[in-house]
Structure 1
Amino acid sequence: MPRNFAIIDLFAGPGGLGEGFSRAGRNPATPMDIHLSVEMDDYAVQTLRLRSFLRSFDSFPPEYYEALNTGTVLPSWSELYPSNWKLAQGEVRRRVLGAHGVFEEIAVELDKAREANHGDTILIGGPPCQAYSLAGRSRNKGKTGYVAEEDDRHYLYREYVRILDRLRPAAFVMENVKGMLSSRVDGGGIFSRVLDDLEGAGGTGYRLLPLAAVPPADGQRADGRDFLIRAEQHGVPQARHRVIVLGIRKDMAVPDVNSPLLGDPADPVTVAEVIEDLWKLRSGLSRQDETSAWQSTVKAQAEAIASHGSIDPGVRDIALHLARDEALPSKRLSRRVLDADRLPDHLKDWIRDDRLSAALQHETRGHIPDDLGRYLFSAAYARVHDRAPKLSEFPDFLQPRHRNRASGDFADRFRTQVATRPSTTVTSHISKDGHYFIHPDPAQCRSLTVREAARLQTFPDDYFFCGPRTQQYHQVGNAVPPYLAFQIAKAVRRLID
């Protein structure tokens, strides 16, 4: 009889880790099911609850596809499938881990999961990273009176460890930003403390294993940087570098590990391969948003770029073409996917859903006319030079009028995601303005849509993000790439099976 592992997902976000583990858990030899997901953001909780509900079926309900394919509002699941919806509500909890009384409430579920599964549980999750990220640390330095030792966010990982102590799972996976490796508090590195606490948790303790490096043969702890995973080396079309620690309970009998658990690095997947089959869209205009006005604005910006005296010849040719082109995109929203498909086989199987005939949440933002010119120039430059231009390489008339633009702090302010390589890290900042996530096609003059960002994060096309568009972006940027999580889950399964 197979062992069934119950998964506890902490700081779950919209469910990137959970999606990967639940997909890997469909293997009947070692089934893994999510028992509990805990998240504080209300919109992410709605997304998690919907996905949990859908996973309760062998095949997603026909009403789900009907709503997605026709663009209508999702039905009331509590009325159509009350028992399934009740299970989803119980699985997903909106709670602030670390807040008063929350641990005591969660502990009840932890005990139930451990006892019902005879100790066969898995803990996954990533404590909030703002205190560790390089951007967050930069912002903190500018705060008057900021004291790192007094920032509770540095120690939220201890709530993860506290739950690890209570649950004593067979295995755990903890994810965080690369900046955790260099973050320092009280004069010492935070990451070594994190590893000490994880290693000694649960009474019996845990063996900590890197996933993308060979563990030390003598059973010693791996070097801190060995826990860094570069997602682009594992089939994800995104240069996302994250610290991920795998722990196996020391009383578990596991095979010797003499090669990287995630396998050897794979060929990189490019931006173009994963988004070019989505319908071409125009951006919006922040005012008087009509197709003719948008096309006229783009042509005017293209003419200005082409006529600038010091413009790059290759960029000038693209701008001249757009200034004369009568076939600029006309739609801001598309529910269609083109027939052309360069998705690699592993992502085609992972992302596509044959019952889905629409592109979900593929709608563009509105931009001011000057930003259309900046987006056009940046995308054209990236097409010619295979890299996005620095702000200093923009012509004078496209330079933003910010007082600090010459400081060097915003050199990548308008960054195109180059078509021929993996994207840069998709972060929650994409919810703010999109300047760092410009589409590689100069004719579209826009930032990425939610669906394009979700593709770069390897969310399946049938994954629906709840809430307004800004919150959809935020959820996508905060997630672990589900396809990477799937590979991690398979590695965990091999060890504990």
Structure 2
Amino acid sequence: MNFIDLFAGAGGLSEGFIRQGFEPVAHIEMDAYAAQTLKTRAVYHYLKENGRLDVYHRYLKNLITKEELYGEVDPRVLKSVLNREISDESIGEIFQTIDESLNNQGTSSVDVLIGGPPCQAYSLVGRARDPYNKEHDPRNYLYRQYVKFLEKYKPKLFVFENVPGILTAGKGKLFDDVQRFMDDAGYNIEARILDASKFGVLQKRRRVILIGWVKGTDLFYPEFNYYDHNYLVSDILKDMPTLQPGETKDFMYSASPSEYLRKHAIRSDDDILVQHISRPHNDHDREIYRLAIGQWDKEKKRLKYTDVPEKDRTHSNITAFLDRFKVVASDLNYSHTMVAHIAKDGHYYIHPDVNQLRSLSVREAARIQSFPDNFFFEGPRTAIFTQIGNAVPPLMAECIAEKIKQMLEK
């Protein structure tokens, strides 16, 4: 079975489908760094399938360049990633490229369409600045481009992921329009808010997962198998080398993998630690981090900005966003939600170790999103954090893909 991934980001949703045996026809992503990440991941899967992961490991160790890595694979692997914005102007050319890819796979049909348009335009915070009724923001209408792919390729089923704010944006008008367009394209749809923490992800992350299927078929919205566990956030942090702000420590873990990491294929014995990179912090912020960690360790209380001594405050606003400094508590079953704001500063994702006084490293953030350690993100640190914060957790994606695969195989 195959799939097309629209607005693919770094490929978290795609990763889950590939793990369940789906073959990608194309990934379309407008951000250049995220598209490079998709290409590198496509190369990883190709090399793994052909028993040549040693080549990939040489790239991770900086022994070969990206160009040399890409030169080791069938060029069609790289062509499956389209670094394009999906618009009225580009869609014809995108369709043509996808048609060529389908032809190379010896088929003309698409089984599943996945992806979700960028959500900033109707996130709960973004909406206050730019509600749906402001016609000028084109991001509010990207679902219409998604529907054009439904009309063109008529997949049996599709998965549309987004933030909960899409359900109420514009007093519900936006989501009414989304449903109407999808209904007109010939699909029954159902949307539910699902929490990644119910799928084994050590993160509280609520997202709308809308699933649609061709009218007149016996497909439906699957029931997912949620499960409880006793794993803690410490299970994804304790094998990582200690870091000071601005430091990088790659290639060597400090301990063997936890049961959680092994069970969920986040770390395996042949993995190489990469991108364990900490951003720099000034002494002022580190003192606030010390306060936040101490308050959590002693009282299990979150630091409010009003708890910060007046001499240490850099913001005059003490009535809103009082939780701007937050520790990723290692003694809980899940972290708070990872969002793209982690690219701007790390104050909301403070590492729980008072001896380090830093925010999460790139690799630690990726693990909280359930990305495996062999997943390499391309681009500068800020761009990588954005990719991670915006992603669908691969563990959650795999659970969704598994149920869809079972339905389509009947």
2:237 pairs with 1:248: no
Bigger mean CA offset, 152-161 vs 130-139: 130-139
SS in 1 for 2:135: helix
2:351 pairs with 1:439: yes
For 1:120 and 1:79, locate their aligned partners in 2 and report how far apart those are by CA, in whole Å: 26
What does residue 285 of structure 2 align with? 371
Relative to structure 1, is the Cα distance of residues 479 and 268 closer, same or farther in structure 2, using a 3 angstrom cutoff? farther
Q: CA contact under 8 A between 1:270 and 1:423: conserved in structure 2?
A: no
Q: CA contact under 8 A between 1:274 and 1:456: conserved in structure 2?
A: yes
The alignment-based identity, stated in percent, is 36
Q: 1:39 aligns with which of 29, 38, 50?
A: 29
Q: CA contact under 8 A between 1:63 and 1:75: conserved in structure 2?
A: no
The amino acid of 2:40's aligned partner reads: L
What does residue 200 of structure 1 align with? 184
Q: 1:471 aligns with which of 363, 366, 383?
A: 383
What does residue 267 of structure 2 align with? 352
Q: CA contact under 8 A between 1:237 and 1:268: conserved in structure 2?
A: no
Which deviations, in whole Å up to 9, do the C-alpha atoms of 1:373-402 show, x marking residues without a partner? 01111112122233421112233343x222
Task: Give the TM-score of the pair, scaled to structure 2.
Answer: 0.91
Q: 1:63 aligns with which of 55, 74, 79?
A: 55
What does residue 84 of structure 2 align with? 95
The amino acid of 2:176's aligned partner reads: S
Which deviations, in whole Å up to 9, do the C-alpha atoms of 1:211-234 show, x marking residues without a partner? xxxxxxxxxxxxxxxx10111111
Q: 1:274 aligns with which of 229, 236, 240?
A: 236
Task: Give the TM-score of the pair, scaled to structure 1.
Answer: 0.76
What does residue 107 of structure 1 align with? 95
What does residue 401 of structure 1 align with? 314
Gaps of 5+ in 2: none
Gaps of 5+ in 1: 26-31, 211-226, 285-330
Which deviations, in whole Å up to 9, do the C-alpha atoms of 1:149-200 show, x marking residues without a partner? 332211111100111111100111000111111111xx65311221222233
Residue 42 of structure 1: how far off its partner (Å): 0.6
Q: CA contact under 8 A between 1:271 and 1:418: conserved in structure 2?
A: yes
Q: 2:252 aligns with which of 325, 336, 339?
A: 336
What does residue 149 of structure 1 align with? 135
Which deviations, in whole Å up to 9, do the C-alpha atoms of 1:417-451 show, x marking residues without a partner? 11122111111111111111111111110000110
What does residue 383 of structure 1 align with? 297
Q: CA contact under 8 A between 1:281 and 1:334: conserved in structure 2?
A: no
For 1:195 and 1:384, locate their aligned partners in 2 and report how far apart those are by CA, in whole Å: 49
Q: CA contact under 8 A between 2:99 and 2:108: conserved in structure 1?
A: no
Residue 39 of structure 1: how far off its partner (Å): 0.4
Structure label with greater radius of gyration: 1
Written as runs of structure 1 = structure 2, the 5 A alignment for 1:166-177 is 166-177=152-163
Residue 265 of structure 1: how far off its partner (Å): 4.1
Written as runs of structure 1 = structure 2, the 5 A alignment for 1:281-296 is 281-284=243-246
Bigger mean CA offset, 275-284 vs 171-180: 275-284
For 1:236 and 1:198, locate their aligned partners in 2 and report how far apart those are by CA, in whole Å: 30
Q: CA contact under 8 A between 2:4 and 2:24: conserved in structure 1?
A: yes
What does residue 308 of structure 1 align with? none
What does residue 288 of structure 1 align with? none
SS in 2 for 1:169: coil
Which deviations, in whole Å up to 9, do the C-alpha atoms of 1:434-475 show, x marking residues without a partner? 111111111110000110000000111000001111111111
**What is the root-mean-square deviation of aligned Cα atoms in Å?**
2.3
What does residue 76 of structure 1 align with? 67
Q: CA contact under 8 A between 2:276 and 2:363: conserved in structure 1?
A: yes
Residue 365 of structure 1: how far off its partner (Å): 1.2
Q: CA contact under 8 A between 1:252 and 1:496: conserved in structure 2?
A: no
